[in-house]
């Protein structure tokens, strides 16, 4: 049973889900099978106090049907029923969390049943609630379209003939479609930057032509995604990116948390791509976006900052040489890191901070206490230790570290292209240790090798070490 879809799904539920699902499973409105309820109760208890034997199929069947001979077909049927009930609950829970969605569907249900008086009241309340909520994204326009449509259907049945004002319905449908079209096209352009798969952007050119007509007044969501799309499509044109950055800082409160977070990350990733092309002025742009997003708390998910974002922000602060801000940031946002990896992520990033200052003694002390569960932490920490030992002239420690690093690369699975990059780093450092770098021709040969090597971690550091003094 351990690998069944039912158990795999139940294991993903939160404590709140379990409380609500208990009521759902035990409701006669949902179903009337007591054997399914007994299966749910048994599994909920077994998963709270896991023991391998408690989830064996014979044990589960015996708990539901004590004294009856084992019937695997019946157990499979009950598991199928329960899984469907769980899926229904998850769908209902997701749907009921969207107030605007619930409101317009209530209007539709009342209209279809010709409950006219209640429909009128519900429609007025739904429109007021939609207008009063803060967001103005594509979903907002889609909900308005649905409400306009329900009003049209209701009025059409009431009047049968006569003039109808359908422009509002048409406008909201257009706003919703164009906003979603541009949003998804931004996603596609982002993926195409790493995987150049062709796509058919049907109707996009017509939408862009309409938006870019003189005098056209786009809604905020269309303006934001229009500039985002053009910035991604024409990365060499800074004006589109600057407009995009201005718009998201102006209109950020009009988007729900997950969407404005994605917009900030889209802008930041644009800067990173420009940085990767050698345009270092985008360090300041990316850093400013991160700081603005931190102040508005739009990068947090459930109140937490991912360890990757924590590290990215630190690296940009270091690139800006804003050491005081970086120092405060590490401490101020430590408690925002996920609890399970908080101390480890903090020690690693604090070590990076001291390493870059440079304060090698403090960096080395912290690195000794970093747990290497994460592959990139592992590689970066080992690389930092390698550089520290070399810079401090600790050559015996460096030789030992090279052996350990080499064994790690040989034994660790899943390294991909990192294996070649770091293997070549170890090869270059080993050559440097065995060469007389006082001889200009030896140093020049190693410098040329480091410059031309196809895959090489820490290339910039090696070149700086090997470059003759004064160059």
Examine the fold and report which residue of 68, 96, 124 is the final residue of a domain before the chain moves on: 96
Confirm if 355 and 363 have CB atoms less than 8 A apart: yes
pLDDT (0 to 100) of residue 138: 98
pLDDT (0 to 100) of residue 373: 78
Q: What span, in angstroms and rounded, lies between the C-alpha atoms of 360 and 445?
A: 29
pLDDT (0 to 100) of residue 470: 52
Task: Please write the tens of the pLDDT for every residue from 111-147.
Answer: 999 999 999 999 999 999 999 999 999 999 999 999 9
Task: Please write the tens of the pLDDT for every residue from 89-116.
Answer: 999 999 999 999 999 999 999 999 999 9
Residue 470 is assigned to a structural domain of this protein: yes
Examine the fold and report which residue of 48, 64, 96 is the final residue of a domain before the chain moves on: 96
Please tell me the total count of domains within the chain.
2
Residue 58 is assigned to a structural domain of this protein: yes
Residue 454 is assigned to a structural domain of this protein: yes
pLDDT (0 to 100) of residue 1: 73
Examine the fold and report which residue of 50, 70, 96 is the final residue of a domain before the chain moves on: 96
Residue 21 is assigned to a structural domain of this protein: yes
Nearest CA among 214, 134, 216 for reference residue 175: 216
Q: What span, in angstroms and rounded, lies between the C-alpha atoms of 30 and 439?
A: 83
Output the pTM of the full model: 0.86
* 52 pLDDT higher than 80: no
* 2 pLDDT higher than 90: no
Residue 284 is assigned to a structural domain of this protein: no
Residue 83 is assigned to a structural domain of this protein: yes
- Which range marks the domain in which residue 11 is found? 5-96
Q: What residues contact residue 458 under an 8 Å CB cut-off, 6+ apart? A: 383, 386, 387, 425
Task: Please write the tens of the pLDDT for every residue from 394-450.
Answer: 999 999 999 999 999 999 988 888 999 999 999 999 999 999 999 999 999 999 999
Q: What's the pLDDT band for 278 if we cut at 50, 70, 90? A: confident
Q: What percent of the chain has pLDDT over 70?
A: 98
- Determine the Cα angle at 342 with ends 319 and 317, to 5°: 10
Residue 422 is assigned to a structural domain of this protein: yes
- Percentages of the chain per state (helix, strand, coil), in multiples of 5: 75, 0, 25
Residue 173 is assigned to a structural domain of this protein: no
Q: What span, in angstroms and rounded, lies between the C-alpha atoms of 425 and 402?
A: 10
**Structure letter (DSSP) for residue 70:** P
Confirm if 119 and 107 have CB atoms less than 8 A apart: yes
Span 339-352, average pLDDT: 94
Span 347-354, average pLDDT: 96
């Amino acid at each position: 049973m351990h690998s069944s879809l039912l158990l795999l799904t139940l294991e993903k539920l939160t404590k709140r889900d379990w409380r609500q699902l208990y009521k759902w499973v035990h409701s006669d409105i949902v179903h009337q099978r007591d054997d399914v309820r007994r299966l749910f109760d048994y599994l909920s208890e077994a998963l709270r106090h896991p023991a391998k034997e408690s989830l064996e199929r014979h044990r589960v069947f015996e708990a539901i049907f004590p004294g009856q001979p084992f019937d695997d077909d019946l157990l499979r049927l009950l598991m199928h029923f329960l899984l469907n009930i769980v899926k229904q609950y998850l769908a209902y829970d997701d749907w009921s969390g969207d107030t605007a969605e619930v409101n317009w569907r209530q209007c539709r249900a009342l209209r279809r049943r010709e409950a006219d008086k209640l429909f009128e009241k519900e429609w007025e309340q739904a429109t007021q609630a939609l207008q009063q909520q803060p967001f103005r994204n594509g979903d907002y326009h889609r909900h308005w379209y649905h409400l306009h449509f329900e009003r049209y259907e209701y009025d059409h049945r009431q009047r049968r003939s006569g003039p109808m004002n359908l422009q509002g319905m048409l406008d909201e449908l257009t706003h919703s479609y164009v906003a979603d079209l541009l949003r998804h096209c931004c996603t596609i352009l982002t993926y195409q930057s790493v995987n150049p798969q062709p796509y058919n952007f049907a109707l996009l050119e017509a939408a862009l032509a309409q938006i870019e007509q003189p005098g056209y007044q786009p809604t905020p969501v269309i303006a934001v995604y229009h500039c985002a799309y053009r910035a991604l499509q024409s990365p060499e044109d800074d004006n589109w990116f600057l407009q995009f950055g201005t718009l998201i800082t102006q209109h950020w409160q009009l988007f729900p948390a997950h969407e404005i977070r994605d917009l900030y990350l889209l802008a930041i990733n644009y800067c990173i791509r420009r940085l990767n092309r050698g345009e270092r002025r985008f360090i300041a742009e990316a850093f400013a976006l991160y700081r603005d997003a931190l102040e508005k708390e739009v990068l947090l998910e459930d109140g937490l900052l991912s360890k990757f974002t924590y590290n990215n922000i630190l690296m940009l602060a270091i690139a800006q040489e804003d050491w005081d801000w970086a120092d405060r940031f590490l401490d101020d946002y430590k408690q925002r890191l996920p609890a399970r990896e908080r101390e480890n992520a903090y020690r690693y990033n604090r070590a990076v901070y001291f390493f870059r200052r440079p304060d090698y003694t403090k960096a080395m002390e912290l690195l000794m206490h970093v747990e290497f569960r994460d592959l990139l932490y592992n590689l970066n920490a080992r690389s930092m230790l390698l550089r520290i030992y070399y810079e401090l002239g600790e050559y015996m420690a460096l030789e030992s570290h090279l052996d350990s690093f080499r064994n790690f690369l040989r034994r660790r699975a899943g390294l991909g292209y990192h294996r070649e990059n770091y293997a070549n780093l170890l090869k270059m450092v080993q050559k440097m240790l065995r060469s007389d770098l006082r001889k200009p021709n030896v140093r020049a040969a190693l410098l040329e090798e480091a410059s031309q090597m196809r895959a090489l971690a820490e290339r910039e550091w090696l070149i700086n070490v090997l470059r003759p003094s004064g160059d």
